[in-house]
Structure 1
Amino acid sequence: MRARRSWSKVTDDAPTHAELLRLVSVAGRVADHSSLQPWRLIELRGTDRERLGRAISKAEGDKGSSTKPLRAPLLIAIVASYRKSDKVPRWEQEAVASGVAHALSLLLDEAGWGVIWRTGHYTRSKAVAKAHGLKKDEELLGWLYVGGKPPRSGAGRRKAVDARKLLTRMPKPAKD
Structure 2
Amino acid sequence: MPVVLDAVGRRRSYSKVTSAAPTHEDLLPLVAAAARVADHGALRPWRLIELRGDTRRRLGDVMAATSGATGADALRLAEKPLRAELLIAVVASRRVNAKVADWEQDAAAAGVGHALSLLLADAGWGVMWRTGPLARTRPVHDLHRLTESEDLLGWLFVGGIPEDAKPGVRQAIDPSEFLSVL
Q: By the TM > 0.5 criterion, same fold?
A: yes
More helix by share: 2
2:144 is aligned with what amino acid? H
Give matches, 1:47-62, under 5 Å.
47-62=54-69
Confirm or deny: 8 A CA contact 1:58 1:127 kept in the other structure: no
How much has 1:33 moved relative to structure 2? Answer: 0.4
SS in 2 for 1:141: strand
Q: 1:62 to 1:30 in 2, by over 3 A?
A: same
Q: Distance in 2 between matches of 1:137 and 1:23?
A: 25
Confirm or deny: 8 A CA contact 2:49 2:90 kept in the other structure: yes
Find 2:156's aligned residue among 139, 144, 148.
144
2:81 is aligned with what amino acid? P
How much has 1:158 moved relative to structure 2? Answer: 2.8
1:152 is aligned with what amino acid? D
1:122 aligns with 2:134: yes
State the partner residue of 2:174: 162
Structure 1 unaligned residues grouped into runs of 5+:
171-176
Confirm or deny: 8 A CA contact 2:62 2:140 kept in the other structure: yes
1:2 is aligned with what amino acid? G
Q: Distance in 2 between matches of 1:157 and 1:151?
A: 17
State the partner residue of 2:13: 6
SS in 2 for 1:83: coil
State the partner residue of 1:39: 46
SS in 1 for 2:134: helix
Structure 2 unaligned residues grouped into runs of 5+:
1-7
Q: Distance in 1 between matches of 2:34 and 2:165?
A: 30
TM-score when normalising by structure 1 = 0.92
SS in 2 for 1:2: helix
2:151 is aligned with what amino acid? E
How much has 1:159 moved relative to structure 2? Answer: 2.4
Confirm or deny: 8 A CA contact 2:14 2:166 kept in the other structure: no
State the partner residue of 1:93: 105
| Equivalenced residues, count | 170
State the partner residue of 1:74: 86
Q: Distance in 1 between matches of 2:87 and 2:60?
A: 12
Give identity over the alignment, percent.
55
How much has 1:153 moved relative to structure 2? Answer: 6.7
1:26 aligns with 2:47: no
Greater shift in the superposed pair: 47-56 or 107-116: 47-56
SS in 1 for 2:159: strand
Task: Work out which of the two has the higher radius of gyration on C-alpha atoms and give 1 or 2.
Answer: 1
Confirm or deny: 8 A CA contact 2:15 2:168 kept in the other structure: no
